[in-house]
Structures are given as structure tokens and as C-alpha cells.
Structure 1
Amino acid sequence: MNKIKAWAKQLKQQIYVLYLAYKDERVPWYAKLLAASVVAYAFSPIDLIPDFIPILGYIDDIIIVPLGIMLALKLIPREVIMECEAKAEEMMLNGKPRNWVMGSLVILIWILLGIWVGIVLYELLN
């Protein structure tokens, strides 16, 4: 159980590293795009496979997120990663970052999805 907790803590720190790295100007655009996508997916309440589906629901958390982290870290220059690791440790001690832009984007997607479902249901019923 301690190994799982340590692994989860390490993943969380790596997500913070990516969060900091995608804001750094030394990171290539394609690495920024991947890092931002992984961070948004990891922090988002929307999953590729919903968690309520037995076993399969947690595959994205166990496989997809770590693979995205690993790939994004390979694309980011090592000196940037080292600087971001130090900042991420400090961040973990002080609390989560608040990214209102990404949060607003997730809310906007849910609102648009709700409107679309409403329109489709309205057209089906009429």
C-alpha cells in the first residue's frame, strides 16, 4: 500500500511539473501542447472512460495519464524539468494551483454539451 501511495504522490508531482513547464518559454510548442493536454485531462472531472464502469473506468487513470506524463517529460528540456521539479515540490507543500482558465473551459464544455443534448432531445420529441 505504501508503494501505491508513493507512486500516486510522484504522479501528482509530475503533473505539477508539467503544469509549470508548459508555461516556460524554453519548452517547444508541441511539448507545451502535450503537457497542457495531460494536465487538463488529469485535473478534469471528465474521463475518457467513466470511473463507474467496473475496472475499465480506472484504466485511464492508471495507464493513459502516466503514459502522457512520460511522453511529455521526454519532450521537455532537462534543465526546465529540474527547475520545475523544485517549484513543484514547493507547490505541493503550499497547495494546489488554481487555473481558472482551464476550469472555465471545462465548465464551458459541459454547458455546450448540455445545450446540444437539449437541442437534440427537443428535435426528437417534436
Structure 2
Amino acid sequence: MFAKMKAWARNLKRQIFILYYACKDVRVPWYVKAFTACVVAYAFSPIDLIPDFIPILGYLDDVILLPLGIMLALKMIPKDVLADCEVKAEEMMKNGKPKNWIVGSIIVLIWGVIAVWAVMKIYQFLN
């Protein structure tokens, strides 16, 4: 069973890398790029829609929502683009995942702004 879960996780990771490359491809329509970018950003984001510490529901996004988003995004990408991206994803998995500190910093900044805004609203509500 552990081997099946490990294979499932590896396949999920491979599909995320395929979507990562599809976002950069000019042959993909803008609306598909937008949806795919959201799925990839959510997959790479350390912050979940449903926090993992909530019993049972915490892993719902990791087990159901993320694979569902990946599946929908893969169905929207043209087949020829998908084939090219699969080759690139396999190469990336052999070499290791990319590190984009700028995008990571932007994600952290956005969540920081949201947190500050929420704290300010709570403070205003209490006073």
C-alpha cells in the first residue's frame, strides 16, 4: 500500500510539473493558462485552503481538490502541448525542481498583506 501511495504522489508531482510548463507555453489559451497557473500556485503554496491541522477535512484539499484541479487543467491543455510538456517534466524530475525566489517572495508578501489586513479588521471590530 505504501508503494502505491508513493507512486500516486510521484505521478501527482509529475503532473504539476507538466502544468508548470504548460503555463509558459504560448500555444495554450489565456484562460487555460490562468486556471493552470492557479492550480500550480496552489500546489506549490505552503498555505492550504483548509489547514492540515483540522481533522479529516485538513487533508481534503490535498487528496481531492488538488488532484481534481490538476485533472481539469490537463483536460483543457491541447494534446500536442501536453506531449511537449510531459517530456520537459520528465527531464525536470531527473534534474530537480526549479527554484523561483521571486514568485515565492510574492506569494509570501500577498499572504502577509492578507494577514495584516485581517488583524487590522479584527482590531477595529474589537474597539
TM-score between the two structures when normalised by the length of structure 1 = 0.92
Q: How does 1:1-126 map to 2 (within 5 A)?
A: 1-124=2-125, 126=127
Determine the C-alpha separation between the residues in 1 that align with 2:38 and 2:91: 23
How many residue pairs match? The answer is: 126
Determine the C-alpha separation between the residues in 2 that align with 1:56 and 1:70: 21
Following superposition, the deviation at residue 113 of structure 1 comes to: 1.9
Determine the C-alpha separation between the residues in 1 that align with 2:117 and 2:89: 38
Amino acid aligned to 1:119: M
Unaligned runs of 5+ residues in structure 2 are none
Determine the C-alpha separation between the residues in 1 that align with 2:106 and 2:12: 23
Following superposition, the deviation at residue 46 of structure 1 comes to: 1.2
Aligned-residue CA RMSD (Å): 1.4
Q: In the superposition, relative to structure 1, how do residues 54 and 105 fare at CA in structure 2: closer, same or farther (>3 Å)?
A: same
1:84-116 per-position Cα deviation (integer Å, ceiling 9, x unaligned): 111111111111112334312211122212321
Runs of 4+, deviation exceeding 3 Å: none
TM-score between the two structures when normalised by the length of structure 2 = 0.91
Following superposition, the deviation at residue 45 of structure 1 comes to: 0.9
SS state of the match for residue 24, structure 2? coil
Determine the C-alpha separation between the residues in 2 that align with 1:73 and 1:99: 23
Following superposition, the deviation at residue 11 of structure 1 comes to: 0.4
Determine the C-alpha separation between the residues in 2 that align with 1:57 and 1:125: 29
Determine the C-alpha separation between the residues in 2 that align with 1:3 and 1:115: 42
